[in-house]
Structure 1
Amino acid sequence: MVRITNGKVRHRRHKTLIKRTKGFRLGRNNVYKQVRLALLKQGQNAYIGRKLKKRDFRRLWIERLSAALRARGSKYSVFVGQMTKKDVRLNRKVLSNIAVAFPEVFDKIHDEVLK
């Protein structure tokens, strides 16, 4: 009986994983055991990064809004409170983009909210 090994299959599997770690440093790009661990860690960091990205962008939008409102002599917290009270449904992303790109429109929104 012929002895069957999975040499070709194993080699192909290792090769595909090693391709995915191109650019990694030291043994993490060519030692199979370290490659596997590096890819696991990479996936964890990517997941965490996607969550942090949302947090960072929200912080950026709030900073932009706050700066635009300070230039007009009002506070972010008061403005957002009034928006909630008057049921103005514009999110922070849209408001910050309007404040940066179209200051005249933002002035009208500011005046309407803080009447």
Structure 2
Amino acid sequence: MRTTYAVPSRKRRKRVLRQAKGFRGNRSKLIRMAYGAVDHAMANAFVGRKQKKRQYRSLWTQRINAACRAADFKYSWLIDGLNKAGVEINRKVLADLAVTDPAAFTQLVEQAKAAR
């Protein structure tokens, strides 16, 4: 009796076509086009996950800098002062404090001023 590899290959093709759902035109219908489209999409998704981290850190820096400028201080001075004061707080938390709790952020700015 001859054995075929039909079940696994059909499963693989169905999986790729499911991943290509929503793509325009034949990229979501024809398997040869879907393979390329899905590979491309997966590569871009990988890159996008790395870029998202960079973009968030940039956003946090901008928010911290804006709050610093409102207190007549600079972002670089704040980071330097907090490091010298031994305050270990990351930029994500600093940005959140700058937006949600300006009083606490002002206290951190004062600590940084004293340490500089």
TM-score normalised to the size of structure 2? 0.89
How many angstroms apart in 2 are the aligned matches of 1:91 and 1:44? 30
Alignment correspondent of 1:37: 36
State how 1:72-91 maps to structure 2 within 5 Å.
72-91=71-90
| One-letter amino acid matched to 1:23 | G
| One-letter amino acid matched to 1:16 | R
Once the two structures are superposed, residues 7-42 of structure 1 have per-residue CA deviations (whole angstroms, 9 ceiling, x without a partner) of: 454333322211111100111101101111111111
SS in 2 for 1:110: helix
State how 1:1-115 maps to structure 2 within 5 Å.
4-115=3-114
How many angstroms apart in 2 are the aligned matches of 1:12 and 1:47? 24
| One-letter amino acid matched to 1:48 | V
Matched residues, number: 114
**Aligned-pair identity (%):** 35
Moved over 6 A (4+): none
How many angstroms apart in 1 are the aligned matches of 2:88 and 2:7? 59
> Pairwise CA RMSD of aligned residues?
1.5
